[in-house]
Amino acid sequence: MRLVFLGPPGAGKGTQAMQQAEQRGLRYIATGDELRKAIAAGTPLGLQAKAYTSTGRLVPDEVIIGLARELLEQPGAEAGVIFDGFPRTIGQAEALDALLRERGEALDAVLYFDVSSDAVVKRLSGRRVCRQCGATFHVESLPSQRGDVCDRCGGALYQREDDRAETVSRRLQVYQEQTAALLDYYRAQGLLVRLQADRSIAEVRAAVNAAIEATARRRAPKAAATGQGSA
């Protein structure tokens, strides 16, 4: 099974994607994280990406797709993958479709985590991170029992610049502008599944499970007709 999880910052898609990948034996791919690893490791693609990021430029789509190609060729990806937050543009979506066609594969579903801007701002602006160990807390839903001090190591907690309310609002505006066309693209293909993410983690997990199981049932007759497995 090949899935894409999309949603604005703070929608909770990363948490759900990692849980589903572990539960179902799928490869979890967050291209942003993988790109940072490639840059740190000094791989050929990492060096290409660094040439852009070091000067504040966006990494071009061809580098991102090259990274996706490498990750899909690694052991374990043949069982299926979940892309977290990728693709981000129509160009990336079209390139991913072409890459999967080369492999005789295709996306099975795109799950969109729909959450209100107010909820995202509340979630992210309340986040606090330990300067020492990196542990994450939330002033309302997961507060440290020691106030502004980390429960785990005693380090000072702080609010990241990206988590300030005004910054979050700007990030959301940019995201919505970028992804409106992407959602239309996948809707036209009949792949888009919209999930209401303004709920508890457990409730969203149940909705994700239901969406994936429905996708698997739709996919089963096609796999049987082509002689493919049900992974």
Distance CA 49, CA 36 (A): 9
89, burial (CB in 10 Å: exposed 0-12, middle 13-18, buried 19+) = middle
| Residues that are catalytic | 13, 88, 127, 160, 171
Distance CA 209, CA 204 (A): 9
Q: Which long-range contacts (CB under 8 A, 24 or more apart) does 206-213 make?
A: 208/16, 208/20, 208/111, 209/20, 211/109, 211/111, 212/1, 212/3, 212/20, 212/24, 212/109, 212/111
Q: Is the peptide bond before 60 cis (omega within 30 degrees of 0)?
A: no
DSSP states of 162-197: GGSHHHHHHHHHHHHHHHHHHHHHHHHTT-EEEEE-
Distance CA 61, CA 89 (A): 9
